Amino acid sequence: MTLILGVSGGIGSGKSTVSSYIMDKTKCKCIDADKMSHDMCKAGSKQLMEIVKHFGSEVLTSDGNLNRKYLGDIVFNDPSKLEVLEHFTTDKIVEEIHNEVKQYKEMEDCKLVLLDAPLLFEKDLYKLCDINLLVTCDLDRKIERLMARDGFGREQIISRINNQMSDEEKSKFADVILDNSKDLDYLYNQIDQFLERNNIEF
Ligand code: ATP
């Protein structure tokens, strides 16, 4: 029996931080939707060429990679463009996630799979999971961390947050909420308690 654990949350909430910690503590397999998206849109890929065809070569960096920040500014200010981008990328990622989950479930020695997906709830991927974790974080903390990590401005962060499903909505589908508004020990402690409560130690 394979336990599928979904991890999601808004931009900069701490999804990767939670996933890394669980990966360190257990011997889980990980399906990382962000990594899939990066791999799918790497320089020279078919997906990237489709994106360039639609959005123009301005979406490329000088070394031919996708300028995610630039593209983000375009799509997070225009829902119709976000829809087009999703057609090129998200739909394929969702399909691949379904396939990977199925494959892992068929592997006899695979006890735990972590599905780290920003659109876990929006794309109904939570239905593939046995337990769904929602990582939340105070707005000011989130802004502070994203400014430090990505060099985003406040307005850029707000427009991305406003284009996402709210935490209130996501919490209706989540089984467990992890509050990442304080320091890492505070977060790790909640994860430890969760793992212990559910006897997850593999
Ligand atoms: P994205 O939505 O961009 O994929 P994410 O939800 O995966 O982001 P992380 O990358 O885990 O979020 O965290 C965002 C930033 O905040 C990172 O730089 C991370 O190191 C930092 N961070 C996360 N949690 C904490 C914390 N409790 N205390 C301090 N910094 C933190």
Averaged pLDDT for residues 65-77: 93
- The rounded percent of the chain whose pLDDT value lies above 70 is 100
pLDDT at 27: 86
pLDDT at 202 exceeding the cut of 80: no
Q: Which of 8-17, 73-82, 189-198 has the lowest mean pLDDT?
A: 73-82
- What are 134-179's pLDDT values in tens digits? 999 999 999 999 999 999 999 999 999 998 999 999 999 999 999 9
Residue owning the nearest CA to atom 22 of ligand 1: 14
- What are 35-64's pLDDT values in tens digits? 999 999 999 999 999 999 999 999 999 999
**Ligand 1 within 6 A of CB of 16:** yes
For residue 181, which atom of ligand 1 is closest to its CA?
A: 27
pLDDT at 116: 98
- Contacts (Cβ under 8 Å, ≥6 apart) of 5: 22, 28, 112, 113, 114, 115, 129, 130, 131, 132, 133, 200
- What are 116-136's pLDDT values in tens digits? 999 999 999 999 999 999 999
Q: Ligand 1 pocket test: which of 13, 38, 140, 145 has the largest number of ligand atoms within 8 Å of its C-beta? A: 145
Residue owning the nearest CA to atom 11 of ligand 1: 14
Whole-angstrom distance, CA of residue 108 vs CA of residue 131: 20
Instruction: Return the ∠ at Cα 177 (arms to 25 and 188), rounded to 5°.
Output: 30
Give the predicted TM-score (pTM) of the model. 0.94
